[in-house]
């Protein structure tokens, strides 16, 4: 499915009609209220954007607030490799090697392949599906560093998202930090443009989408709240924040079995406590967003409040 600006004309016409509906009574207003309830129950700050890839409608909470990427940037990093490979700017099947000096704490793929090496494509798949940290750093260095990934987002019209450092320093993102951050509104649209737009050729889109579906780190997050029969893929991120906070992220796509429009999502939960059962509580919070996706995708939702369009 290819993005087309014409798909959003109907949404623009709906804006005037929705203005006549009290925000707290409109279908989108009710969904936003549900997101606020989820945030309150989770005891933290929830940032969400749900984006309808056909109409361009969206609903969210704290959608323009900045949150740290943690490992969620690795989805865009994998996409950047596939884009440059398709354009003939880099060979994704080029083999690279690394040493013990490149190793970081979480390295399920690169630890096994140290000395033997791997192709850039294999590193991209590993950093997407397993969140391997050294794989991300090696790949990032081969793609122009943080500036190269930031430029990739800018090329898609995203003037917000940025990467400034490598793993693991990029995880140090206190609430007032601009470095290594994105907003839910920006990232949900990036996912839409990459998976359903023309950023990647069809073959590369399918490859990346398959990697996202094969990713298991998000099975207890947004995907856990989706009904049976939905197809979804994602990229998660988890990091300890400066002080006592934790950052739990899930970005991806969801497709219903009954012809619902594909929905992309970007969810960020900044927990107040990083100890005890907070990880389980954060995942429960994100799974509850999955239930909202089904409601958002239903055709009987009526005239939504318009979100940000392309």
What residues does each domain of the chain span?
A: 9-301
Rounded CA-CA distance 74/96 in Å is: 18
Pairing outcome for strands 181-182 and 118-119: unpaired
Does 71 participate in catalysis according to the annotation? yes
Q: pLDDT value at position 8?
A: 33
Within 10 angstroms of residue 39's Cβ, the number of other Cβ atoms is 20
Q: Could you tell me which of 48, 62, 43 has the C-alpha nearest to residue 268?
A: 48
Q: Could you tell me which of 159, 157, 123 has the C-alpha nearest to residue 143?
A: 123
Q: pLDDT value at position 276?
A: 62
Please give the model's pTM, rounded to 2 decimal places: 0.89
Spatial contact of 87 and 139, defined as CB atoms under 8 Å apart: no
Per CATH, the homologous superfamily of domain 9-301 is DD-peptidase/beta-lactamase superfamily (3.40.710.10)
Which of 18, 26, 55, 71 is flagged as catalytic?
71
Helices 73-86 and 184-195, packing angle to 10 deg:
30
Does 167 participate in catalysis according to the annotation? yes
Q: pLDDT value at position 220?
A: 96
pLDDT in 10s for each residue of the chain, 310 residues: 444 433 332 333 233 333 444 455 788 999 999 999 999 999 899 999 999 999 999 999 999 999 999 999 999 999 999 999 999 999 999 999 999 999 999 999 999 999 999 999 999 999 999 999 999 999 999 999 999 999 999 999 999 999 999 999 999 998 889 999 999 999 999 999 999 999 999 999 999 999 999 999 999 999 999 999 999 999 999 987 555 468 999 999 999 999 899 999 999 999 876 556 788 999 999 999 999 999 999 866 544 433 333 3
Which of 167, 204, 245, 283 is flagged as catalytic?
167
Q: pLDDT value at position 3?
A: 47
């Amino acid at each position: 499915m290819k993005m087309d600006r014409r798909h959003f004309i109907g949404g623009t016409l709906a804006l005037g009609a929705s203005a006549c509906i009290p925000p707290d009574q409109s279908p989108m207003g009710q969904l936003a209220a549900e997101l606020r309830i989820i945030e309150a129950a989770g005891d933290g700050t929830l940032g969400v954007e749900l984006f309808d890839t056909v109409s361009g409608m969206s609903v969210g909470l704290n959608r323009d607030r900045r949150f740290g990427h943690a490992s969620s940037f690795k989805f865009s990093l994998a996409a950047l490799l596939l884009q440059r490979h398709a354009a003939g700017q880099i060979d994704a099947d080029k083999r690279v090697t690394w040493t013990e000096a490149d190793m970081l704490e979480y390295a399920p793929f690169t630890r096994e392949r140290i000395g033997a090496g791997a192709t850039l494509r294999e590193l991209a798949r590993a950093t997407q599906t397993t969140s391997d940290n050294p794989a991300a750093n090696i790949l990032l260095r081969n793609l122009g560093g943080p500036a190269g990934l930031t430029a990739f987002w800018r090329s898609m019209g995203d003037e917000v998202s940025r990467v400034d450092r490598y793993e693991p320093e990029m995880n140090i993102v206190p609430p007032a930090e601009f470095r290594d951050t994105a907003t839910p509104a920006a990232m949900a649209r990036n996912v839409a443009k990459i998976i359903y737009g023309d950023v990647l050729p069809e073959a590369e889109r399918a490859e990346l989408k398959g990697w996202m579906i094969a990713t298991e780190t998000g099975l207890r997050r947004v995907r856990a709240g989706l009904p049976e029969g939905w197809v979804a893929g994602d990229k998660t991120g988890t990091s300890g924040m400066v002080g006592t906070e934790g950052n739990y992220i899930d970005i991806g796509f969801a497709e219903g079995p009954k012809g619902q429009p594909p929905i992309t999502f970007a969810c960020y939960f900044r927990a107040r406590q990083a100890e005890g059962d907070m990880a389980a509580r954060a995942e429960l919070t994100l799974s509850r967003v999955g239930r909202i996706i089904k409601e958002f995708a239903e055709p009987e939702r009526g005239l939504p409040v318009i979100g940000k369009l392309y």
